[in-house]
Amino acid sequence: MTSRVKSPRTLKEQEARAGLVLISPTLIITLVVVVLPLLWAIMLAFQDARLINIRRVGIFGHYTLENFTYVMSEPGFWTSLVNTLVYTVAGTALSIVIGLVTALALRDRFRGRTLVRASILIPYVAPVVAVTFLWETMLNPQYGIVNTWLAEPIAFLTQARGEFLGIEVPVALLTVIAFEAWRYFPFAFLFILARLQALPAELDEAAVVDGATPTQRFRYVIMPQLWRIIALLSVLRFVFTFTKFDDVYLLTGGGAGTEVVSVRVYNFLTSRDDIGASAAQAIVLAIFLVVFLAVYLRFFAGGEREQG
Amino acid sequence: MSRDRFERALLKVLKPLVIAFLVLITAFPFLYMVMLSVRDIQELILDPGSIWPSAFTLDTYVNVLTKQGFLTFLRNSAIVAVASVAVTLLISIPGAYAVARLRFFGRRQVHFLFLAVYLFPAIVLAIPLFVLFTMIGLRGSLIGLILVYIAQTVPVTVYMLRNYFETVPRSVEEAAAIDGCTRLSTIWRVVLPLSKPALMATGLYAFMIAWNEFLFALLFLVESRESWTVSLGLSQLAGSIEIPTTVLMAGSVVLTLPIVIVFFAGERLLTEGLTAGAEKG
């Protein structure tokens, strides 16, 4: 009571104060564990920092562009960037297409749908370490079950190039992409199914009355209402996959032509102890991500306007 | 036959095939995982094509839990996951309430900042945190890992909870205020009980992140084996030749089963609508 007498506050001021107090734990932890480290990462990228001399590298240390010129001229950097792009685009597209097909197949009720749905969600829910180990075992050239079905065993995860129907294909990279599609199609499925089930039934029924065939209804009635969620999914999956580390690292360790930039960053950090160079590489990755996103959004924002 | 009838007939055949295929590619690997974990390694090498083991054994589980130290890893993972969930909820409930209900300076900006943080690559953060934790000696401890997990999940959980809190009718809260509730007791007695499904969902999300995460566990804990999480333990032991694959498969089951159980147990609760009937008239 006394404090209220001392400083009479309006309800609005009280509300603003309460708001700041309640949000502050959230702000503090994101500031300390996310924002400040992020700024520090940018600083480190411009410094000659190694684990041994890290204590001597201060805020006012020597700033240089050397890390950037070094990592970009290093053999393998541009290859890994191309790998990252191929992996991301193919993984994103495949997971969304399979997710869409799955959502359409599971749209209507049928006996056992709950069980089927549960089964489909498991690859996404299960820990990445367990599923990568499972894939490694199943694809193992010596005792993997998949290879017992084939006439000739294929080293899916350790072979950079192979021949398929006379065409040279990047075996390991394709396997990693297949893994990505398999693991993340349930994510796309969940989003698309939720949207599908929220669609008004009248439009579809009207199209049936007008004599539209199932494919016509899909093309002209359902798809136009799904573009928005698919666009959102593409952005989300693109962002997540572009900087993904676990999947590729656990499946191939970045070997056999599957090295993506995030795995490279990790290798620079741990085996070379070169903090500056790995930070520079991570920053370059983030910049490319922003550029690709900007290009994508520009194109897509235009496309969406056309559809109204 | 008209195009319509042809398409309908085709879809009628295709649909079960697609569903069967989807079940096959999702369920079979996990069935195989379980089947592999209950047989002897000798059997796998002699007959890699068989799915059903000729002799069941649970020695693989005994081996992986005791000899390989998975009991310790399980304990570590449980500590990390439960602590992350508890602290994440503790931090994000007031945060989300503030963003949903209270007008304060920077409310909209806060919201935007969180999403920006969420979309930022973890690998960029990993470097300075690695250096920082090495410097202050938090590397190798579970506390550092828990801190990172909380920071990674809080932006999302605030966003999830905010969306739900906004659906709680203001009039219910106003009624509580008239009945003499302070702001905190309104949150505790009115908003939270009405938000149980959202709380379950956010808790589930935080649990899944903490249980499944690999990169930060690898960076921070790899040198101190007694603090390995189950994920890290399995990934580190998977490379060794001495440990039979079937034993490691038992480890995979041990790693996968808790999260699958938690997920499906929680998912059912999510579907319960709890606001129904809270506000009459």
Q: Which of A32, A299, A219 is nearest to B138 (CA)?
A: A32
Return d(Cα B107, Cα B130) in angstroms, integer: 31
Per the CB < 8 Å rule, is B235 touching A123? no
| Residue A198's CATH number | 1.10.3720.10
Same domain, A191 and A133: yes
SS3 at position B199: helix
In a domain, A7, yes or no: no
Q: Domain of B46?
A: 3-59
**Which of B111, B127, B184, B261 to substitute to test the interface with A, most A CBs within 10 Å?**
B127
Of the three residues B59, B78, B107, the one that is the final residue of a domain is: B59
Q: Domain of A259?
A: 74-307
Q: Which residue has the higher pLDDT, B57 or B278?
A: B57
| Residue B131's CATH number | 1.10.3720.10
pLDDT tens digits along A63-120: 888 888 888 888 889 999 999 999 999 999 999 999 999 999 998 888 888 889 989 9
SS3 at position A46: coil
Q: Which residue type sits at A301?
A: A
In a domain, B32, yes or no: yes
Q: What is the Cβ-side half-sphere exposure of residue B207, based on CA atoms within 13 angstroms? A: 20
**What is the number of domains present in chain B?**
2
Sign, CA torsion B152/B157/B160/B162 = negative
Instruction: Tell me if chain B has a CB within 8 Å of the CB of A279.
Output: yes
In the DSSP assignment, the letter for residue A106 is T
- List, in order, residues 6 or more apart from A302 with CB less than 8 Å away: none
Give alpha helix (H) positions in A48-76: 66-73
Question: B77 falls in which pLDDT band (50, 70, 90)?
Answer: very high
Q: Any bridge partners for residue A169, and if so which? A: A162
pLDDT tens digits along A250-266: 999 888 888 999 999 99
Residues of A in contact with B148 (CB under 8 A): 33
Q: Any bridge partners for residue A163, and if so which? A: A168
Question: A59 falls in which pLDDT band (50, 70, 90)?
Answer: low
* pLDDT surpassing 90 at residue A19: no
- List, in order, residues 6 or more apart from A25 with CB less than 8 Å away: B90, B91, B94, B95
pLDDT of residue A83: 94
Same domain, A60 and A98: no
pLDDT of residue B274: 36
Per the CB < 8 Å rule, is B104 touching A239? no
Return d(Cα B74, Cα B226) in angstroms, integer: 11
Same domain, A51 and A136: no
CA B206 to chain centre: 6
CA B267 to chain centre: 12
E-assigned strand segments in chain B = none
**What is the number of domains present in chain A?**
2
* pLDDT surpassing 50 at residue B273: no
Of the three residues B11, B28, B59, the one that is the final residue of a domain is: B59
pLDDT of residue A200: 87
From chain B residues 6-25, the ones with a CB under 8 A of any chain A CB are 7-8, 11, 15, 18-19, 22-23, 25
Residues of B in contact with A102 (CB under 8 A): 18, 22
SS3 at position A162: strand
Same domain, A160 and A42: no
Same domain, B53 and B130: no
Same domain, B18 and B113: no
pLDDT of residue B74: 94
Same domain, A126 and A221: yes
pLDDT of residue A226: 92
The minimal CB distance from B48 to the residues A38, A145, A239 is found for A145
- Structure-token pair, residue A305: 């306007």
pLDDT of residue A67: 86
pLDDT of residue A308: 35
* pLDDT surpassing 70 at residue A56: no
Q: Identify the weakest region by mean pLDDT among A19-28, A146-155, B112-121, B214-223.
A: B112-121
* Residue B43: closest C-alpha in chain A: A143
Q: Which residue type sits at A171?
A: V
Same domain, B13 and B135: no
Contact B191, B97 (CB under 8 A): yes
In a domain, B278, yes or no: no
Same domain, B51 and B82: no
Residues of A in contact with B119 (CB under 8 A): 239
The phi, psi pair for A266, rounded to 5°, reads -60, -45
Task: Tell me what the mean pLDDT of segment B185-212 comes to.
Answer: 88
SS3 at position B167: coil
pLDDT tens digits along A120-160: 999 999 999 999 999 999 998 888 888 888 877 788 887 77
pLDDT tens digits along B16-30: 999 999 999 999 999
- Mean residue pLDDT of chain A comes to 85
* pLDDT surpassing 90 at residue B257: yes
Same domain, B43 and B74: no
In a domain, B279, yes or no: no
In a domain, B245, yes or no: yes
In a domain, A17, yes or no: no
Same domain, A105 and A36: no
Contact B231, A246 (CB under 8 A): no
Q: Which of B32, B55, B34 is nearest to B43 (CA)?
A: B55
Instruction: Tell me if chain B has a CB within 8 Å of the CB of A27.
Output: yes
Same domain, A193 and A298: yes
Contact A219, A225 (CB under 8 A): no
pLDDT of residue A91: 96
Return d(Cα A131, Cα B238) in angstroms, integer: 12
Give alpha helix (H) positions in chain A: 2-6, 11-30, 36-45, 66-73, 77-105, 113-125, 128-138, 145-149, 171-198, 201-209, 214-217, 223-242, 246-251, 261-270, 275-307
- Mean residue pLDDT of chain B comes to 85
